[in-house]
């Protein structure tokens, strides 16, 4: 399971080889090598034979192989052409559907409904990729991903904490987010400088807050956390004046980090 992406980063390779493959820095590749944590991820996913599973960044197949032992058909998205070619040579298309593509640009709606996403996400594109996946919440059953531990802390954060921010609000308005377990840096080859954690995201479905204008909601959240020290009076001055903030039950002198997800929903709907 490789951390892989295509984001225009400088090219380069790592000196560390894994499975005969030189890890490419431009794709953020760190391969999960510890069988204990591979088994824990599979157990957390608990796949059934006919599950519609897509793996992001299969890499050397550390997770792909045990998944194929549990499901009839698996879809994988791999940006690295060399790794994609190796996987294609190992498995027939009837068992493994491989897309040599950038997950950041991939249209997940083409893979059907009740989709279960799993993967080890590259650190530097994890937030953009989570935002991208959130667009397909209606097609998802769940998302089980490994990310930098700090990112997972941001995903599950509560208001008025340092980790609470734009990522928190934009995910929690769509998903129930749960931190499952930590994964030490030593479980990867090459070894990254930070620890990781596995998180599960489940779409809220009928429990999801109704937004009158999703674009406006996203704009408000982005502005509120654009400069964390700014009060909402200043951060949202191009969107709403003090009177409108007060009418929505929001104190103009408060900072964005003090508002709950429900507060942001109420504010956005009031302004819409």
Pair 227, 196 in one domain: no
Pair 203, 130 in one domain: yes
Pair 36, 162 in one domain: yes
- Say what the pLDDT of residue 20 is: 52
- Single residue among 183, 207, 231 that ends a domain in this structure: 207
If you average pLDDT over each of 44-53, 80-89, 113-122, 192-201, which comes out highest? 44-53
Pair 136, 220 in one domain: no
pLDDT tens sequence across 64-106: 999 999 999 999 999 989 899 999 999 999 999 999 999 999 9
Cα 2 off chain centre by = 14
- Single residue among 176, 207, 238 that ends a domain in this structure: 207
Pair 224, 122 in one domain: no
CATH code: domain of residue 100: 3.40.50.150
Residue 4 belongs to some domain of the structure: no
What is the total count of domains within the chain?
2
Pair 175, 72 in one domain: yes
Domain span holding position 233: 214-271
Pair 24, 145 in one domain: yes
pTM of the model: 0.87
Pair 133, 202 in one domain: yes
């Amino acid at each position: 399971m490789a951390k892989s992406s295509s984001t225009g980063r400088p090219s380069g390779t790592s000196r560390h080889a894994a499975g005969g493959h030189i890890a490419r820095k431009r794709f953020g590749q760190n391969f999960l090598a510890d069988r204990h944590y591979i088994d824990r991820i599979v157990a957390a996913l608990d796949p059934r034979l006919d599950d519609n599973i897509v793996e992001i960044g299969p890499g050397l197949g550390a997770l792909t192989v045990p998944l194929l032992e549990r499901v009839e058909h698996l879809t994988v998205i791999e940006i690295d052409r060399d790794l994609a070619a190796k996987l294609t040579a190992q498995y027939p298309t009837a068992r493994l559907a491989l897309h040599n593509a950038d997950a950041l640009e991939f249209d997940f709606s083409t893979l059907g409904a009740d989709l279960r996403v799993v993967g080890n996400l590259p650190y530097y594109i994890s937030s953009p990729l989570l935002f991208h996946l959130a667009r397909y919440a209606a097609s998802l059953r769940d998302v089980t991903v490994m990310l930098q531990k700090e990112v997972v802390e941001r995903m599950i954060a509560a208001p008025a904490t340092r980790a609470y921010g734009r990522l928190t609000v934009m995910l929690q308005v769509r998903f129930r987010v749960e931190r499952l377990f930590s994964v030490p840096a030593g479980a990867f080859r090459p070894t990254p400088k930070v620890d990781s954690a596995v998180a599960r995201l489940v779409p809220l479905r009928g429990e999801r807050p109704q937004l009158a204008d999703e674009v406006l909601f996203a704009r408000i959240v982005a502005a509120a956390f654009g400069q964390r020290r700014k009060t909402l009076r200043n951060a949202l001055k191009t969107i709403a004046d003090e009177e409108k903030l007060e009418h929505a039950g929001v104190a103009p002198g408060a900072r964005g980090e003090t508002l709950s997800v429900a507060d942001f929903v109420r504010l956005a709907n009031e302004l819409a």
